[in-house]
Structure 1
Amino acid sequence: MTDESLAGLHDNEAGWQPEPYVLPRLAAVDNLAAALFGRGLSEEAAEALAGAAVQPEDMRRKLTDVNKLRVQGGTLHIVETRLWSASVVPHPANPREYGRRNYALGGASAALRILPEPESVPERGPQLQIRVPHPNDLAHRLDDAKERLVKENPLDDDIAAEGVLQPLMVVPMVVCHDRAPNRPVMLLITADGSSRISAVHHLLGYRPSLIAYDWANDVRKVRREVNRWLRLVQKQGWDALSSAEQGMVRALTVPARVVVGFVPDIRAGVRFHIAVRNFIGLTHIRPPRPYGSAVENEAKGDAVLDSLAEPTRSRPARITPQEKRWFAGMITEQEAAEEGFSPYQDVRTAEIVRTVLGGGTGTARRVNEGIRSLTAKQRPEHEDRVDIAVELILRPVRTAKNDALPYVRPRRAVLQRAYRLPEIKELPADALLEGALDSGRSLEELRDAALKEAAEGLGASGRLGVAQTELAVKASYYMVTAGTMALQTEGSGAARAQDSRSAVGVLRAMLSQRRGVIQAYEVVRAGRLGRPLHEVDEDGAPIYTDDGGYRELTDALVRHTYNGEALTEAVVGLPAARARWATVTKSVDNLCQAVSAMESVPAYEGGGSLVKREGWDPPEIEKARRYLDKASRTLADWADWYQEQNDEPGQGADADATGIHDL
């Protein structure tokens, strides 16, 4: 915001007038640095905090009686003080941007790719560390985050009038570079409050990259910048300053809760960076300002991966660091291939589903620990875990589609419903998935195993087998993300009007049949090749339309083929005839039930059957019988034609073979 845009927003009688600041003596700064170093902070972190303190003597006194803040997994030791705004930068991996991050696995360019989450620094006290490829990566990320936060969460006017009211949680963080000779840089980041510090920098005209790579290495430059404003106030007096200048002076300092120590719970063994993130989650994912469901699930996803990747006192880590990065979408397709991971997104999807949702209560306990670390929700539900898994699955999809909400939102909703398939919860944690690192199982072997389960009646009896479930997970990924959007119209449209089944019901009906297993297999094959999804018959052969093209696989077609509603479009061939025959037999059964129901109507309370006592109107009976006789003769003709074509006398004529029962 420019001086001109600020002018006139606040008159000189309004707003907060800060106390007169003075530049602290260097001796006081050195004494504070020594005291911080004595508390276990690294020398670099101690010097950075001491140089940022507005009143170093006051902060040093408070070190003797620090405040203790309980978070999930431990206790943070904090000191409340004021810091110079020119010494603090936003969190470079700000969680508020989770919903639109660009992940390497989705093909994001290096310039747009997100930075890794900061980690703890062993033996260096309450300090974070982040590794970035090059200084330019962090510089670009800091400036981009500032501009985005200022635009999406504008606080300039409020801060110009009253300064920053709520203290920022400030943590030291060292930046290490992989591909540059630059020495590590010590920054003070806002673990909570990136929007506020970004608004402050916007008012003062600061670029966070300048603070990080220029001022952070030279305390004299920070003091010179601060002194410029202090001299202006001393020279002109507060009342003589313009409204814009007063707003800038109000933003010159920020209240802060500086983390100067951390004591993990003995039983939890939580590391410092996880404790910091837990604090962020309890502040934002819970009230007062939720990030939104998609962003919340993204943040919970990273917390869950941390929980699965960390060993406990009694259990080893559930996933490796490499799997954690793959699931998080933090590696490119080439890096994933070099690590030995499958190039197919359905395999990654199945691995995430098995890891986050399968494995029974043992895995659920680990996943719930990650969820509780951000939300303090004592009993996360299965639906919570499903939503988190889906958000992890969609990270590459969102990046590839540039987070287009009209594309992502409906697909997210359908996957969330589809992966509530109860059989997924019972997938063994150690099952060898097709395409997994430790499995030599081929897609054809998975298909054959699913066919065997279907032949044994699994699915039709109410529960899919392990192979059927895995194939359902993989096929539904492509069916939902494909352009044809099979299963997509659940909940609305013509298909839903007649078929009220959920995605779970459709998937179970599909994988219960031989043809459905073959169709799911062909969906996965086509999806991996990037081809459109088409309908196939029981032998896997494509079904053609009247104009000779492949029949596109749609939601309506899937629902209809696997006991759903009748299609509004024309359907030819044996599949259409079988669907109509199912309608015929169902109608006959309904007629039988209707006749029995009518016969059970009593003539009076407690009396016998009315029709058995008094009969029914002969003309009405004759009319109904004519319809039935006509239908019976038609069915008999069909049986005769079948015998002629197949030369099998005596077959197909009896009621049991047709599936029709005597009235």
Structure 2
Amino acid sequence: MRRKLTEATELRVQGGTLSIVETRLWSASVIPHPANPREYGRRQYPLGGSGSTVATTPEPGSLIGRDAELELCIPTPDLLAQRLEDTKDRLLRENPLAYDIAAEGVLQPLTVVALTVVHANGHPRASLLVAADGSSRVSAVHSLLDYSPCRVAYEWGRDDRKYRKEINRWIRHAQKQGWDGLREDERQKLRALTVPARVVVGFDPHSQTNQRFHTAVRNFIGLTHIRPPRPYGPAVENEAKADAVLDSLVEPARTGPAHITDAEKHWFAATVTAEEVLAKGLSRHSDVRAASIVKSLLGGGVGTSRRVNEGIRSLTAKLRPKREERVDIAVELILRPLRAGKEGDLGFIRSRRAALQRVYRLPEIEDLPAGPLIESDEGGGRALEQLRDQALEEAGLGHGNDGRLSVAQTELAVKAVYYMAVAEPMALQREIFGGSGDEDDRSPATVLRAMLSCRRGILQAYEVVRAGRRGDKLYEVGESGHRVVTATGSHRELTDSLVRHAYTGEPLAEAAVGYPAAAVRWASVRNSVDSLQRNVKVMAAVPQQVGGRSQVEEEGWDPAAVAALREDLDHIDRSVARWSDRHKELELLREAEQDPTDTID
């Protein structure tokens, strides 16, 4: 740090120039700003007559005789200690960053200034480092490390031996265990042990204004938070994340090949021409591209989710990106070619984005296996007619009506809905809220599942894809798959209201006995298990305190309650295992009957 004092850089602010030094600080040496501007809207002021007995912490002023140091005058140390604890708790609630920082540490530097605290009761002065910008990050770091800001201010700030002891215990532990020998919670703490910082070491006011240092600091905070540059907006953010995700997917994994090829990366990113797409052996059809993006970013189970999340974290440092965020990123990639010529029609893109984001939240997409699509232009790909026929077979077995589409049904749905969403008028839109009560408020994903669960809907989806690839309008088809002719002899154009009316999602009458009926019940069982797994994860994520470790991982749960639950699960396990054994037994009997080499001597 001393060497860097000779290499200070200048940062112009309103009213003067700050001299700053970029370095890393131990998290045990920095506290949140005791008068954090984020709390302005909730402060209780004495003039308001609120009756509160808690004194308001004054704003720091400039320390006389020092160029770049603040001074805070308060009655007692207890007041500042309570103020720091309140600030930390509020920032953790309103701007929770602990999970993100646990994954990558603090990435953006804090802006740190020196603060001298003067106590009216005669307590010795305290010299502190406070985050003029970055109090939320400091609070999150302290939460991860179980630091109390008043301890940082009044114990470690006053006793250098205790301060070094706290730091050294982590250094020694890391050296003894090695990174691979540490628990994940210990790694998270080590990532938070230091923070990047821009320390303000000097201030040169403009001669015309002769501005004080504390005013310059407040102006700097204002430019950062109160009047910052206009945000990019979610669409732009998702575009940036999309490029980061593609970079992640094209890189070889630690234990296997890359998730997508370099050619697919540029195809998904829409950075190649139509001629280059064909030259690379990729499909010219927009629905195949959309389905490939959806499958590559949203299908393939946990393995795909991890790779996509790696790309998101490289840009945002989010520890656990949600599935909805992955869906939004996929949709933004799909929409890129559509924006050509639509710069002035924001409503066109906005409505299509909303519809596709809703429909591609279809849970069955996660079950799509890794690898190429069933129907594609790649070697070995099947024809669209074969995809249709396989989807019809799956519907005949009760899939869709059992609560979940199967693989071919899902792929056909993903392709058809692309053209239904981009059509003019749209053949499938987002659900309607706040109407008279008669509107169909089912989500597009629910409507699509109902459509792909019956023969007519599958034929409709097949015809939508065919028409979309030709650039034709979309028309309604009947049970035969042919266009419906109205009383006037014309064809009926496909619309959102027509699709919702035709495909209500009611179970087929014949799905009352046999395999189709059993499949409906199996889907309910499967959904219940999925719900159980989600609830277990949600329960495990409940922290002991804000930003803390899991309540159940630390304290456990009632053994009697757990034993009763495990007994129920064991009973279910034995039941379904018996069904599986019976199915295997029948398969072996059928194979034995069909084996021509199995003869009796």
* TM bin (shorter chain): 0.3 to 0.5
Whose radius of gyration is greater, 1 or 2? Answer: 1
Which TM-score applies when normalising by structure 1? 0.42
